[in-house]
Chains A and B, each alone.
Chain A
Amino acid sequence: MKKTLTVLLAVLLAVMTAAAQTNVKVTGSVKGKTFGEPLPGVAVTYGDIYTITDNDGNYSIEVPSGAELTFSMTGMKTLKVNIAGGGKFDVVMEDEILELEETVVVGYGTQRKRDLTGSITTVRGDDIKMAATNSPLEALQGKVPGLYIINSGAAEGTPTVTLRGVSTVRASTTPLYVVDNMLTDDISWLNLNDIASIEVLKDASSTAMFGVQGANGVIIITTRKAEDDGVNVSYSGTAGVSVVHNRDRLKLCNADEFTMLYNELLTNMDPEATPWVPQLTGEGTDWIDLVLRPAFFTNHTVTLSRGGEKGSSITSLSYLHNEGVVKYNAYDNINIRHNNEFKVGNWLKAGIQANLRYRTTDPSNVSLSSTARVIPTYGPYDSEDYWDENNLGSYFTPADNIQKDVGNPVAAMLISRGNSESYAYQGLFNGFVEINFLKDFTFKAAGYFDYTAQFSSSYNPKYYVTNGGSASSQYSRYTSFSRSVGEYKKSQADITLSYAKVTDKVRVNAVVGFTAKEYDGVGFSASVDTLINGSYWNIPESMRMLNLGDDKSRKNSDWRSSNAFISWLGRVNLTVLDRYLLTATLRYDGSSKFGRDHRWGLFPSVGLGWVISDEKFMQKADWLNFWKLRTSYGVAGNDKIGDYLAYPTINPRGTTITSDGETYYIPVTSYQVDQNIHWETVSTFDIGTDMRMFNSRLAVELGYYYKKTSDLLAHVQPTVSVGSGYAITNAGSLSNQGVEFVVSWEDRIGDFNYNVSFNGSTIKNKVLALGNDDSYITSGNYHRTAVGQPVGSFYGYVAEGVFQTQEEADEFNANHTSSYVFKAGDIKYADLNNDGKFNDQDRDFIGKTIPSFMYGINIRLGYKNFNLSVDMNGVTGVDIMNTKYWQSYAQYNYYKEQLGRWHGPGTSDKLPILDSTRPQNSLCSTVAIEDGSYFRIRNIQLGYTIPKKALDAIKFSNVYVYIQAQNPLTFKNTTGYTPEIGGGILNANIDDGGTYPIPSSYTFGINLTF
């Protein structure tokens, strides 16, 4: 009865509306295709008329008959339905792109994800929109298995990126970046909001396509294109604050604690010592607090796009202001990007793109390591009466006898504040033309040009930091000023011819091509001393000109360098019966960095895949939606070393001699050069599987790789009696291997949808050969790179505790010949080789700088208009050398931990007695090794999409607001600011308290679409 009534009513209404406005009523339900669940919140629109589906996915709307209704919802493919004369229309919406059908950018083309034979991870632009960051890479942390990222906290900082372990000791570990087909080694110019997707290419069948530059992996970035037909205007903005929470700061002694420890040290060295009396007692000066600040950052992007049959264009304008948590450190960036694509029929496509950028940096001029060292018993100013930041004579530092070379960090900061500037203009331009002919063939030619002009200047005033009358060693006797200018040009040309054919049984995709690239840079710098003679202390900015300097102090210099490479490339992708996959690539590269006879190389790869789930015998396994096995092998190169290493040279001004009373410059031949030097060769074997189960709710990717670098470029110094000054040669090999996995689960329960993903990777790094006789490379005081060990391992003594009593020490002395005489309170070391001697033969590998496991957890929740995402990551199996354990002659402040030092039997079995005359306690040993493992909540974002109804009045089509907390919480075992230290390949992870802290940032953001 009810039903009849409804129908009657509908008919009546239809007739009425038809009569009046020819409007008809349309009702129905909307369901998702994958899970068949009702979809609430779907926008149903026709022109200005719209509604949204209710909680059960039902909708009802009146529109003119014959209208075409649009069903749209984030994450689903937009659907258009002609409702003809109205009535009931139940629609089923598909996920925007079925993930496996997605295309993946693989370099010189795209491929369906399901057809890949290699290991490629795709990250969508929407997943990396972390607010308080300059670099898109920072946001990749914890999202890509095998990708190790060490972030930088500085305002202008960019992260260090290593893929699948360290595969070199001398060349660069930076992956190759490919932005819209342009090869580059720097992507700091990219605006986060312009990025559509990032693909990380790890295995050889993917990276071999990039030949001599592919060995460190390849990161392909695709920028946004216009998405829809019609005009689209959107804005996104964020603003927030970064802080270093107290819990993340160094724990240093206060004035009383320091005085107590220092007097103990004096007494330990001389029982008769007169106690030292500090100027400040109690808490004293918290130097760290004086140089850190809550920092503000904001980012605004306006994007205009227009799509259509004949082409599309997108223009974006963005502004970023990022302050560092260390005072006076700031970074500003303005970016304008324009991309225009034309289509002429089906046969011609062409486009141009330009990205213009201006950036300026106020570098940090605080020495954080000094801030960690300076003693808390004095204040930064002479006395309170003199607290005047602008008076360069009012700073204070204590007398030499306690702290000579540390200096007053606040004075140093304020004196040099604002005196250095660095800014640059960068323009990136590219254009392409693509011609489709004979149906299956496409010819594409593209050109790229990247131009940067960089300017910097630095001024140093005349100043003295006094200690109540007499000058200290912290001073400058005269003013000085310098400027430098640099110009960097990169050009690239690509020509490719591709063939694509899809039949019922076979999919073929082949490409051949040519790439040439060239870099040219030139720069100039000049400096003078004593700007304006006389008694000026600080010279106004307007008078800081080279012209005004003392003639005798004028210095200038310039530099220039260039490199180039050429490459021929080819690739075939073959998919037979949608099940049997083959990828084969071949690349022939020439690089200017090597001598004529060692310049060209061939880089092949092959990948095979088998989609088992499509086999007949698997059809019964309903729970298994997709199962692929893949394997690949290939070779890539690493030419990221300095230019011109293969050429013996003569420096015309190599050295000077005095002859006949004059100084002459004499040419000097370069150190011994290996003219046969060539790139490192990295061969990689991959095997893996991808699975989708339970209606694709569960996805599992699992892979193993073995990567071997041969012809390792290294500087292995022979004995000095052979000669000194030998060059880099191809002198070894090393391997990296590991397991990488991603497990993710997604589902939708009514209004609630979620996605939880866990990824991880192991790395085992090992040097296989080095030099002639398995030599080793010692780097600084703490690291050694040797055969059988990971690159850049810590090498030192093994501490077994502290001698609690003199008897204990005497017993050790009696049983061991040694250059040290141990006393009570000294560190007790192991006589590792048990030869009754304690000497440098008792050292061993005591820690490593490459983590053995890293992982990420990413959670996405959605409920009605709310969404929440949480990203976490961590590493384990890595060590950090905390050099604060070694006291220098300039007395440093102590870390709170030192309160637990040995000061009598039974007081400590780890930290030795305070006594700087006992070098035996300053040996590189396990005492200073800290566990560098950490787990960090990287990002939490809570967002809300404002309902359409509420937007009606303000003409927005979409408004999304969110709050974000970046790095709110870190669990770590180290005593430094951050466990993300980095450093050189051979001498990483040294923490002297001077690593720029990685702040916690809190952001409000809004995205508007008009």
Chain B
Amino acid sequence: MKNISIISLAVAGFVLAGCGEDFLERYPYGQWHSENFEAEEIPYNILIEGELAQAYNAQHSYDFNAGAPCLHSIATDDADKGSTASDMSWAMVIDAHTWDASAGVVRQYYNAWYSVITYCNRAIEYCDAAGQFDESLTAEKVNNYKAQALTIRAHAYFRLVQAFGDVPFVEQELEQDEKTPPRTPYTQVYANIIEDLNWSVPYLETRKALVEAGNLGRVSQNSARAVLAKIYMYQKDWATSMSYCRQIIESGDNDLSTPFDEIWTEKYEFGPESIYEFDVDDKPSLSISTGGNKQWASIQGFRGQPNCGWGMNGPSKQLRDDMKDDPRYHATVLSDGDVRDGVVFQSAEVPNPHYNAKVYAPLYEQQMYNRNNPNATWLNIRMIRYSDIVLMYAEAANELGETDEALAKLEMVRARARGNDADALPEITERDQTKLRDLIHEERRFELALEFERYFDLIRWGEAEEKIEYFVPNKQELYPIPQQEIDASNGILTQNPGY
């Protein structure tokens, strides 16, 4: 009987304690939410930092790391898909120029930038709200945050226009049941982001200031200017493009002092070469590991022994042949049988045993910070480099007939490339505009080989049909809007011509 009394009491107590609504109030542990926290308690600067950090990380998502080498480089004849014939079959359609609207890798690339845009939009909303509610946050600080978000977003839209033409321009995060706006004419997208970038420049910091403060990975004034220069260059507004390039060159924030073969080392991260760089870091012993995806280098890395990666985006025979006497060859191409840091590189049996050397991390980096892996999960992505800007300046100058300026800037880049080899790359003195144009184009091809410029340069120059064997004119100037997006939009989004 005693047992029963105890049970009855326990039961009754439990029931009474539980009767109320309070019993059903269950909230997540380890998270702030409406019950343990007043929304105002989190300073806006923290909220903004959070969204910004995610925007920065989203720039190097897997979707980007797998998609960008395809759309920017493999689509040219300078790079091969890499690996065995059937590996990474999703990239085959790019190499073969047979992609259609259902190509997964095109969709990944499209999604990658919109994901960046979503975080930027949230950060911008917080910035706008902070001005009204948070008195502790100075206008200067808020404007700096907003300038970062606007610049990242503008860069994302620039890349979308570059690949897809007209794209929906979304300035704020929409509700789940809202419909996407239709595609905005690319000229309008450009107009919008030009305005945002111009507004941003004064509020952004210089690269040097960022490095000094240890704020690695943020966009700088020159990042914003570089995007502006590119937008005008893609519209063949040479003068304006050149003026932004000049601003960058004259800012003194960047220079070409970095030896070409050390540009992609950890030592020179955010160095003088850095214009727009994605921060990727992995230091197990210091518990440092950036968010986002860290496979940029391993997706393209050497496949074999040592096993640095999958081997995507390898230099084609054509590029290797054309570039074989260029001093930059060694820093661009990593081949079967090469010896680096005392290690003999043995490729897996693949059709093209040559790899992108610009994703190779030296042996000593592999051994630092307890990393113990050859996959270079700490290798930053150099989206826009200073030499790109210098060559853009040279290109614009030549188009405008300022031959001396063009030759001088071209020589800057070649001088650095020459390194200690005085005989290589003689200075160019060609003054014929057409011939010099070709030389500048070829210089861009070698300086920026396997990076982000070649395919869209060829389209911009109208040379794609001539330089890419399988290029389909009047169609492949733009990639298709992903079919899945068109379907999900219920017809609001339209397709590019030819698809």
Q: Does B331 contact A (CB under 8 A)?
A: no
B128-151 interface bits toward A, Cβ cutoff 8 Å, 1 = contact, 0 = none: 000000000000000000000000
A526 interface residue (CB < 8 Å to B):
no
Q: A647-B34, A649-B32 are in contact. Are A725 and B11 (CB under 8 A)?
A: no
Given A478-B372, A660-B214, are A400 and B86 neighbors across the interface (CB < 8 Å)?
no
B26, B88, B110, B303: the one contacting A720 at CB < 8 Å is B110
Do residues A562 and B26 form an inter-chain contact, with CB atoms below 8 A? yes
> Which of A493, A663, A887 makes the CB contact (< 8 A) with B11?
A493
Q: Which of A717, A772, A887 contacts B86 (CB 8 A)?
A: A887
Among A565, A593, A648, contact of B34 (Cβ-Cβ < 8 Å): A648
Asked if B28 and A658 sit within 8 Å, CB to CB, the answer is: no
Task: Say yes or no for A654: interface residue by CB 8 A criterion.
Answer: yes
How far does the Cβ of B325 sit from chain A's closest Cβ, in whole Å?
31
Contact of A650 among B33, B181, B305, B484 (CB under 8 A): B33
Q: Are B46 and A667 in contact (CB under 8 A)?
A: yes
Q: Is A46 close to B, CB under 8 A?
A: no
Known interface pairs A269-B85, A819-B98, A889-B87; A720-B485 also in contact (CB < 8 Å): yes
| Contacting residues, chain A, for B11 (C-beta < 8 A) | 431, 445-447, 493, 495
Segment from B15-23, B396-404, B459-467 that makes contact with A: B15-23
Q: Is A656 an interface residue (CB 8 A)?
A: yes
Q: Which of B169-177, B226-234, B409-417 binds A?
A: B169-177
B residues less than 8 Å from A773 (CB atoms): 490
Contact of B111 with A650 in the complex, beta carbons under 8 Å = no
- Min distance, Cβ B310 to any Cβ of chain A, angstroms: 9
Bound Cα distance from A516 to B12, whole angstroms: 11
Q: Which residues of B (1-23) have their CB < 8 Å from a CB of A?
A: 3-4, 7-8, 10-12, 14-15, 18-19, 21, 23
Partner of A647, one of B28, B57, B93, B487: B28
CA distance A820 to B100 in the complex (A): 10
Please tell me if B31 contacts chain A, counting CB pairs below 8 Å. Answer: yes
- The segment out of A37-45, A668-676, A978-986 that lies at the interface is A668-676
B176, A839: Cβ atoms under 8 Å? Answer: no
Find out whether the CB atom of A493 lies under 8 angstroms from the CB atom of B15: yes
Chain A CB count within 10 A is highest, among B12, B57, B176, B279, for B176
Residues from chain A with a CB closer than 8 A to the CB of B85 are 269, 889, 916-917
Residue interface bits A666-686, CB-to-B below 8 A is 1, else 0: 111110101000000000000
A564 touches B176 (CB 8 A): no
Residue of A nearest to B24 (CB): A592
> In the complex, A441 Cα to B85 Cα: how many Å?
79
Q: Which residues of chain B come closer than 8 Å to A659, judged between CB atoms?
A: 213-215
| A63-103 Cβ-contact flags toward B at 8 Å (1 or 0) | 00000000000000000000000000000000000000000
Decide if B86 touches A819 in the complex (CB within 8 Å).
no
Shortest Cβ distance from residue B346 to the other chain A in the assembled complex, whole angstroms? 8
Asked, given contacts A724-B111, A725-B118, A840-B483, whether A658 binds B84 with beta carbons under 8 Å apart, the answer is no
Contact of A721 among B87, B180, B305 (CB under 8 A): B180
Tell whether A560 pairs with B29 under 8 Å between CB atoms, given A657-B49, A720-B111, A721-B114: yes
From B7, B30, B349, B484, A352 is in contact (CB under 8 Å) with B7
Choice from B23, B100, B101 contacting A518 with Cβ under 8 Å: B23
Q: Considering residues B7, B12, B88, B122, which has the most beta carbons from chain A within 10 angstroms of its beta carbon?
A: B7
A535 located at the interface, meaning its Cβ lies under 8 Å from any Cβ of chain B in the complex: no
Contacts of A651 in B (CB 8 A): 30-32
- B186 CB, min distance to chain A CBs, angstroms: 14
> Is A308 part of the binding interface, using a Cβ–Cβ cutoff of 8 Å?
no
Contact A840–B176 (Cβ < 8 Å): no
* Chain B residues in 8 Å Cβ range of A729: 176
Which residues on the A side are within 8 Å of B47 (C-beta)?
Answer: 667, 669
CB of B247, distance to nearest CB on chain A (Å) = 27
> Are the C-beta atoms of B54 and A668 separated by less than 8 Å?
yes
Central interface residue in A342, A657, A819, A821, by most chain B CB within 10 Å: A657
Contacts of B389 in A (CB 8 A): none
Identify the closest chain B residue to A654 (Cβ): B50
* Interface residue B217 (Cβ < 8 Å from any Cβ of A): yes
Chain A residues contacting B29 (CB-CB under 8 Å) are 559-561
Q: Mark A720-743, 1 if CB is under 8 A from B, else 0.
A: 111111110100000000000000
Q: Which of A560, A658, A772 counts the most B-chain CB atoms under 10 A from its CB?
A: A658
A558 to chain B, nearest CB (A): 8
Does the CB pair A662–B214 fall under 8 Å? yes
Residues of B within 8 A of A644 (CB): 26-28, 31, 33
Known contacts A720-B111, A819-B93; is-contact A477 B372 (Cβ 8 Å): yes
Q: How far is the CA of A650 from the CA of B348 in the complex (A)?
A: 46
Per the bound structure, the CA–CA distance linking A625 and B344 in Å amounts to 89
Task: Check B4 against A433 for contact (C-beta < 8 Å).
Answer: yes
* Binary A-proximity of B73-98 (CB < 8 A = 1, otherwise 0): 00000000001111111001100001
Residues of B with C-beta under 8 A to A917: 85-86, 92
Chain A count of residues within 8 A CB distance of the other chain: 95
A778 to B181, CA, bound (A): 23
B488 within 8 A of A: yes
| Residues in chain B near residue A840, CB distance under 8 A | 100-102, 483
Whether A447 contacts B26 in the complex (CB less than 8 A), given A722-B179, A919-B93, comes out as no
Chain A residues whose CB sits within 8 angstroms of the CB of B7 once the complex forms: 350, 352, 431-433, 445, 447
| Inter-chain contacts of B168 with A (CB < 8 A) | 719, 721
User: How many whole Å from A477's CB to the nearest CB in chain B?
Assistant: 5
Is there a chain B Cβ closer than 8 Å to A907's Cβ? no
B198 interface contact, C-beta 8 A: no
In the bound complex, how far is the Cα of B176 from the Cα of A674, in angstroms? 9
Binary per-residue interface labels of chain B (358-391) against chain A in the complex, 1 for a CB within 8 Å, 0 otherwise: 0000000000001010000000000000000000
- A447: chain B residues at CB < 8 Å are 7, 10-11, 14
- Taking CB atoms, residues of chain B closer than 8 Å to A657 are 49, 52-53, 56, 217
Q: How far is the CB of A674 from chain B (nearest CB, A)?
A: 7
| Residues 302-353 of A at the B interface (beta carbon under 8 Å) | 342, 350, 352
Once the chains bind, are B26 and A563 in contact (CB under 8 Å)? yes
Whether the pair A667, B24 counts as a contact (CB closer than 8 A) is no
Encoded as 1 (CB less than 8 Å from any A CB) or 0, chain B from 48 to 65 comes to: 011111101100000000
A888 within 8 A of B: yes
The answer to whether A667 and B23 touch (CB under 8 A), given A656-B290, A721-B114, is no
**Known contacts A672-B176, A889-B88; is A658 also within 8 Å of B33 by CB?**
no
Q: Are B57 and A655 in contact (CB under 8 A)?
A: yes
Instruction: Report the minimum CB–CB distance from A523 to chain B (whole Å).
Output: 11
Q: Which residues of A lie under 8 Å from residue B281 when comparing CB positions?
A: 658
Instruction: Kindly provide the distance from the CB of B317 to the nearest chain A CB, expressed in whole angstroms.
Output: 16
Q: How far is the CA of A654 from the CA of B49 in the complex (A)?
A: 11
- Please determine whether B28 and A643 come into contact, CB atoms closer than 8 angstroms: yes
B15 touches A655 (CB 8 A): no
User: What string of 1s and 0s marks CB contacts (under 8 Å) between A773-800 and chain B?
Assistant: 1011010000000000000000000000
In the complex, which residues of chain B have a beta carbon less than 8 angstroms from the beta carbon of A505? Answer: none
B259 to chain A, nearest CB (A): 25
Whether B24 and A718, one on each chain, are in contact in the complex, defined by CB atoms closer than 8 angstroms, is no
> What 0/1 pattern do residues 451 to 491 of B give for CB contact below 8 A with A?
00000000000000000000000000000000111011110
> Distance (Å) between the CB of A217 and the closest chain B CB?
25
Query: Is A553 part of the binding interface, using a Cβ–Cβ cutoff of 8 Å?
Result: yes
A445 to B27, CA, bound (A): 29
Shortest beta-carbon distance from A79 to chain B in Å: 36
Q: Is A1009 an interface residue (CB 8 A)?
A: no
Q: Which of B42, B110, B177, B488 contacts A667 (CB 8 A)?
A: B42
Interfacial residues, chain A to chain B (CB-CB below 8 A): 269, 342, 350, 352, 399-401, 404, 431-433, 445-447, 470-471, 473, 477-478, 491, 493, 495, 514, 516, 518, 552-553, 559-566, 590-593, 596, 599, 643-644, 647-652, 654-663, 666-670, 672, 674, 717-727, 729, 772-773, 775-776, 778, 819-821, 839-840, 887-889, 916-917, 919, 922
Question: Can you name 6 A-B pairs with beta carbons within 8 Å?
Answer: A445-B8, A470-B346, A669-B122, A722-B176, A725-B118, A889-B85
Query: Which 5 A/B pairs are nearest by Cβ-Cβ distance?
Result: A889-B87, A916-B86, A401-B349, A661-B214, A819-B98
